[in-house]
Structure 1
Amino acid sequence: MEKNNIKYKAYIDILKKELVLAKGCTEPIALAYCAAKARSVLGQIPDKVLVEVSGNIIKNCKSVVVPNTGGLKGIETAVAIGIIAGNEKLELEVLKDISEKQITDFKNYLKENKIEIKKSDSNNLLDIKIEAYKGEDKAVVRICHKHTNIVYIQKNDEIILDKNEEEKGETNALRYDLLTIEDIYDFAKSVNIKDIEEIIKRQIDLNTVISKDGLENSYGANIGSTLLKLYGDDIRNVAKAKAAAGSDARMNGSEYPVVVNSGSGNQGLTVSIPVIEYAKKFDIDDDTLYRALVVSNLCAIHQKSKIGYLSAFCGAVSAGAAAGAGIAFLKGGDYKDIAHTIVNALAITSGIICDGAKSSCAAKIAFSVEAGILGYEMYKMGEQFYGGDGVVSKGVEHTIENIGHLGKVGMKETDKEILSIMTCFD
């Protein structure tokens, strides 16, 4: 792909936009960011807060530990730490560099102040509105569609920001529609490494650190270390275990940041760690590793752009298939290898649901990576799933469209039922 090609620039822009840093699970972090912004607009610490959130925010904040809170979970926790200690200028790193005094102040604030939570009537899957009050003063901040996409700001009677419906949309002018698996392969083969080196190196460095943290310390159900104890150091097992270990840590309060993919740190870990581990095992040069990570990242983004950031369809499925594609590229695979790897993987794991962010995400990551690797190895042995096998259609793009429709449209009612089950005992 030529550098002056419109797709070349679009793919660079997508990587820059999607592969960003986040500290903690992105849904509670989005809440903390929104809360920190509301406090900043208000100009003081509020003594009353009203939080309106969509069902998927409730689902993904219920069971995940918020960093720097002493192991606490939930919407109130994320909002309170954002108000007291959040730096809104850092967006998804809003909880970076928090002092011991701020942690003490946060715990006192959580005990002494009222944070009211309501389920939003919005049809948006990702929707957060925070109203913060202090005396006669009021601030309102709303985020829609993406975790840092502020669409509305108000202080008292002054409307500071009010984006129109087009600006509120999910695409933000990025050309996701230009993504295809064949062109992703072409781009990865031809991209000037200098154009993507900084982004990809940061992903390698940071995601490797949190994966190591997950193996060296006890987090959640310790899926990563359990897999290594049970099944040893075969590269297939190491690839999925180390990806899972990053999620073990991230879902349970690790303070290390990750580079996300499609708005998710778990997906960022899934697309990167297995490819990195295969490169280590087979002594692959950095140039090839970087190009393979371009493949895995863009293949995941392509799939998720059809589904949306939040859904009842587990994002690890798309990311695991993409990891398999990255491994295929790493081992010399061509477009057909990558396309068939993705189709095979999606045929295996497309029934995994998202029932919120929590410890079991690590296990879902492990099995999604397993499907990605199996999908690749199947094709290399001359085996594959064919169009008409369930949700699989002839051609990778048609299969991705099917999965996108299933995740975005077909599972809307499933999403509601999952939320109902998750909250029926609250």
Structure 2
Amino acid sequence: MGAKQRIYTAGVLYYTVLKIRTDFRKGRQEDVMERNDPRYQAYVEILKEELIPAMGCTEPIALAYAAAKAREVLGVLPDSVQLQVSGSIIKNVKSVIVPNTGHLKGMEAAVAAGIIAGSAEKELEVISEVSEEKKSAIRDYLQTVPITIEHTEQGHVFDIVVTERCGQDYARVRIADYHTNICRIEKNGTVLYEVPLLDETVQEDARADRSLLNMQDIWDFAETADLRDVADLLERQIRYNNAIAEEGLLGDYGANIGRVLLTTYGNDVSNRAKAKAAAGSDARMNGCELPVIINSGSGNQGITCSVPLIEYAKELHSGKEKLYRALIISNLVAIHEKTGIGTLSAYCGAVSAGAGAGAGIVYLCGDGYQAAIHTVVNALAIVSGIVCDGAKASCAAKIASSVDAALLGYNMYKCNQEFKGGDGIVMKDIETTIKGIGRLGKDGMRQTNEEIIRLMMS
């Protein structure tokens, strides 16, 4: 074959492939979700429910929220407090600094902050405004009022019961299953408010149906959604989470993983993506008083889903619209993965969020759905062994590892490499793999979680 013939053949092949891709995309347009589609409405509601602000690690803040609500119901300052909490709450509160307390740690500090300075109507920003006078009062309260802690298991991995007493009066508040779910309020033997708790295997009726999430629909929704429905949520996520990431690099927080990464490995975009996400985590685990927008009940997961994409969008000059659509993918993929695992587990949530971030980065880089699902599968195959041993400084390093795995997973796809079905926990397709990861995180690692809690409490 001569040179001209080879050029002609290559040109025909190129335009044939281009036409196939164009026809495929046109075909997909027939399946675009309209606004009145239940999936479209569910996805918007899921983002509204999940992308909410929180100050500090969300488990101690949930304790502060419950304590503030009980104080509100009691009507006076309690002279004794009893906490009944599940092991996963102990695990995730033990080692983090509670913001706006003068660098106090632990469950007692979170509860005292909620009682003395909390505004229950602010939910996960319950202690976002604390004066110096009230910080001093929190310390005094801890020294003078008995706060007892009881480890109880009542069939819910996420479970908090706060009972506050003053003389013969008491108020009790229970939060279960997720961070703002007050399910019972009681005062002096009278139930003031109660909603039934479902078995953890049952979809929660009060929230949007997460069982509607799947990778193909997430991708289609992100590509075609009317951004007016979600732009304010995503803009707030960009603003809040980028701010705490930058503060993490400037300040001295935790193990300063972000600065270690930049000093050791340089300033290219892939390293900046890891470093800034890690820095945001280090800051919020170690007393920074800036809020974050969370994902799946976790600030660390919210940071991991967003900050790497912000860095890639800057590098690629992507523009706001493309970044918004990438963030839709990242956030919803992470929520989809986490739905089967549950709110708290021995399975590190940064892994799910990192894989979600990888899918969002694929979109920013101009690749399509196939690249995204291979990136997610590859990332999950690489780092699904990371355990959650509570909230603390090392979360930042786990975030960096998870984002790194996502970037490696994407580069594997670009080099025509992949982990195939049957390779360990990788299943025949993306949805089966995500379901398998859910089983691993929720059921398979239940005993692991209990052992981690025993180790931490010993």
TM class, shorter-chain normalised? over 0.9
| Counterpart residue number, 1:421 | 455
In structure 1, the partner of 2:358 is 324
1:351 and 1:203 mapped to 2: Cα distance? 28
Q: After superposition, give the CA deviation of every residue in 1:194-248 in whole Å (9 maximum; x if it has no partner).
A: 1110000000000000001100000010001110111111111000000000001
1:168-179 equivalences under 5 Å are 171=204, 172-179=206-213
TM-score (norm 1): 0.98
1:278 aligns with 2:312: yes
Where in structure 2 are the equivalents of 1:228-307 lying within 5 Å? 228-307=262-341
Distance in 1 (CA, whole Å) between partners of 2:277 and 2:153 is 36
Taking the TM superposition and a 5 Å limit, the aligned residue runs for 1:396-415 are 396-415=430-449
1:325 deviates by 0.4
Q: Does 1:97 align with 2:149?
A: no
Post-superposition CA distance 1:18-44 (Å, at most 9, x none): 000000000000000000000000001
Q: Which runs of 5+ in 1 are unaligned?
A: none
TM-score normalised according to structure 2 size? 0.91
Contact 1:146 1:170 in 2 (8 A): no
Within 5 Å, which residues of 2 pair with 1:63-142?
Answer: 63-142=95-174
Same amino acid, percent of matched pairs:
55
- Asked if 1 retains the 8 angstrom alpha-carbon contact of 2:262 and 2:275, the reply is yes
Distance in 1 of aligned mates of 2:127 and 2:306: 24
Work out whether 1:61 is the aligned partner of 2:93. yes
Q: Is the 8 A contact 1:25 1:66 kept in 2?
A: yes
Larger radius of gyration: 2
Q: Which amino acid aligns with 1:146?
A: Y
Q: Is the 8 A contact 1:42 1:138 kept in 2?
A: yes
Matched to 1:100, the amino acid is E
CA displacement 1:281-325 (0-9 Å, x = unmatched) = 111111000000000000000000010010000000000000000
Give the Å deviation of 1:170: 6.2
Residue 3 of structure 1: aligned partner: 35
The one-letter amino acid of 1:17's match is E
Shift of 1:403: 0.4
Give the corresponding residue for 2:84: 52
- Matched residues in 2 for 1:277 and 1:349: separation? 22
Q: Partner residue of 2:48?
A: 16
Q: CA deviation at 1:148?
A: 0.6
- 1:386-408 CA-to-partner distances (Å, cap 9, x unmatched) read 00000000110010011000000
Query: Cα offset for 1:121?
Result: 2.7
Q: Give the number of equivalent residue pairs.
A: 424
**Separation of aligned partners in 1, 2:53 and 2:152:** 27
Which range moves more in the overlay, 23-32 or 228-237?
Answer: 228-237
C-alpha RMSD of matched pairs (Å): 1.0
1:223 matches 2:257: yes
Contact 1:144 1:150 in 2 (8 A): yes
The CA distance in 2 between the partners of 1:312 and 1:208, in whole Å, is 28
Name the structure 2 match of 1:315: 349
Residue 226 of structure 2 is aligned to residue 195 of structure 1: no
Question: What is the distance in 2 between the residues matched to 1:212 and 1:335?
Answer: 31
Give SS of 2:160's match.
strand
Task: Determine if contact 2:277/2:399 at 8 Å carries over to the other structure.
Answer: yes
Conserved 8 A contact 1:145-1:170: no
User: 1:334 deviation in Å?
Assistant: 1.4
8 Å Cα contact 2:203-2:209 kept in structure 1: no
Question: Aligned partner of 1:273: which letter?
Answer: V
The match for 2:415 is 381
Residues 1:358 and 2:392 aligned together: yes
User: What SS is found at the alignment partner of 1:105?
Assistant: helix
Residues 262-283 of structure 1 show CA distances to partners (whole Å, capped at 9, x for unaligned) of 0000000000000110000111
Question: 3-state SS of the aligned residue for 2:105?
Answer: coil
Distance 2:182 2:199 in 1: 10
Counterparts of 2:189 and 2:415, CA distance in 1: 66
* Aligned-residue offset at 1:157: 2.1
